[in-house]
Amino acid sequence: MNIKQKEIKEIVKEKYSQIANQSKQQNETSCCGSGGCCETDYTVFSENYDHLEGYHADADLGLGCGIPTKYTHIKSGDTVLDLGSGAGNDCFVVRALVGDTGKVIGIDFSDTMLDQARRNAEKLGYDNVDFIEGDIEDIPVPPDSVDVVVSNCVLNLVPDKIKAFSGIYKVLKPGGSFSISDVVLQGELPQELMESAEMYAGCVAGAIEKEIYLDIIDQTGFRNIEVPIMKEIDLPDEVLKNFFKDDDIRKFRESDVGIYSITVTANKP
């Protein structure tokens, strides 16, 4: 790991540890945690989970950018791995799908997030939902041991995405699948606009072009790669007007260039 990659991981760990100490409502208005205040919104892509079986409000910090469980077939008895599990939101939805005979493993590298997730699991009385410390670039799970991998708005924050997807491939059983919600770019955005977008929406940091993202998945060996849903982030005019005139803002909004949340699914042969 180079110095820059290590610095990125430390920044992400620090920021999300701060966020773990806040409620979803606080994250929607002041996501910088107890250490300060800024304009960045980490909930700009968040989806409504409260209609899903297994939903636990205390585990929902509003940090996702999709509902990955909606686009993959998880059945009773499956072993499911959630990468970047946070306070446990997706894990508890998965638990409702795998039942008492299944197993759910959540991995996160923030001790604060892990502590909160474990408290939530204890309150719910789940003995088949485990939260373990780990790095997504070096997944601490045995090879060929997982039926399904899910992840929600986390892989874009990982510096080495090739290593991350190679790890996902390794831990999945043959025939296993993943469903990952993430943030990608489409088209070429001015660097200054990207920097402003990152200040507006923290989950934009580390996002790469959609085609590069999908190519990494393909080159890793996955098959049946699909993008069942793709939604554009609506950058406000106050962000765009720093770079475009009014007419150019209109043209930008009418183009396909932008920042998107997507959910990607694929299978290991």
For residue 260, give both structure tokens: 């998107």
pTM of the entire structure? Answer: 0.85
Q: What is the structure's pLDDT at 35? A: 36
Contacts of 212 (CB under 8 A, 6+ apart): none
The confidence score (pLDDT) of residue 228 equals 98
Q: What CA–CA distance (Å, rounded) separates 207 from 188?
A: 12
In the chain the domains, ranked by start, together with CATH numbers, are: 43-267 (3.40.50.150)
Reported as a single tens digit per residue, the pLDDT across 119-134 is: 999 999 999 999 999 9
Closest listed residue to residue 88, CA positions, set 44, 57, 67, 47: 57
Position 30 scores a pLDDT of: 42
Average pLDDT for consecutive 10-residue bins of the chain (269 residues)? Answer: 53 57 49 41 79 94 92 97 96 98 96 94 97 96 98 92 97 98 89 73 81 98 98 81 80 85 97
In degrees rounded to 5, what are phi and psi of residue 56? -130, 110
Return the structure tokens found at 66: 């999709």
CB 59 within 8 A of CB 88: yes
* pLDDT at site 25: 53
What is the per-residue pLDDT for 236? 77
Bridging pattern class, strands 146-152 and 223-232: unpaired
Cα–Cα nearest to 90, from 67, 111, 71: 67
pLDDT for 34 = 33
Contact between 170 and 143 (Cβ < 8 Å): yes
Give per-residue pLDDT as tens, 63-88. 889 999 999 999 999 999 999 999 99
- Which of helix, strand or coil describes residue 133? strand
pLDDT at 248: 78
